[in-house]
């Protein structure tokens, strides 16, 4: 009978704590800075657009674009605070939208919020 091969143990990945993740996260001001109206000529578009909408919504939800099909409740986000964060992001980018136009129901999908705000006109 041939000798058994030694199998190596799977590598253990170090799971970061919430504190470690927060220290590595980018501050919202640095994420939003490229979208400020004075930062580039391409911000002279008449509408907010899809790409900026995705950045604003995912930043407000504290996630990334892979979670666009998830709802606020699935992500553990409070609707009114999410709504306020999106409103401030749109305003910071130099566009305008009514606070009540931004959905804040727990069942709201992030992609639905993107679809609503991407048509926000220039302020």
| 106 lies in some domain | yes
Predicted pLDDT at 20 = 79
**4 located within any domain:** no
- Does the pLDDT of residue 8 top 70, yes or no? no
In a domain, 35, yes or no: yes
How many structural domains are present in the chain? Answer: 1
| Assigned domain for 73 exists | yes
DSSP track, the chain: -PPPPPPPPPPPPPPPPHHHHHHHSPPHHHHHGGGSTTS-GGGG-SB--HHHHHHHHHHHHTS-GGGTTSBHHHHT--HHHHHHHHHHHHHHTTB---GGGS---TT-BHHHHHHHHTTPBB-
* 3 domain-assigned: no
Instruction: Tell me what pLDDT residue 103 has.
Output: 94
Q: Write out the residue range of the structural domain in which residue 113 sits.
A: 26-117
- pLDDT for position 23: 79
Residue 22 pLDDT level (bands cut at 50, 70, 90): confident
CB atoms within 10 A of CB 102: 23
Residue 69 placed within a domain = yes
pLDDT digits over 49-96, tens only? Answer: 898 999 999 999 999 999 999 999 999 999 999 999 999 999 998 899
pTM, rounded to two decimals? 0.68
Has residue 45 been placed in a domain? yes
User: Does position 46 have pLDDT exceeding 90, yes or no?
Assistant: no
**30: in domain:** yes
């Amino acid at each position: 009978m041939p000798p058994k091969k030694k199998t190596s143990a799977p590598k253990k990945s170090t799971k970061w704590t919430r504190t470690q993740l927060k220290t590595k996260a980018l501050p919202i001001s640095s994420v939003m800075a490229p979208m400020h109206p004075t930062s580039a000529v391409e911000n002279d578009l008449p509408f907010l657009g899809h790409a900026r909408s995705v950045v604003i919504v995912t930043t407000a939800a504290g996630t990334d674009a892979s979670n666009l099909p998830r709802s606020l409740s699935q992500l553990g986000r409070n609707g009114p605070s999410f709504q306020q964060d999106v409103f401030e992001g749109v305003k910071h980018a130099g566009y305008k939208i009514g606070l009540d136009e931004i959905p804040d129901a727990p069942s709201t999908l992030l992609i639905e919020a993107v679809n609503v705000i991407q048509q926000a006109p220039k302020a």
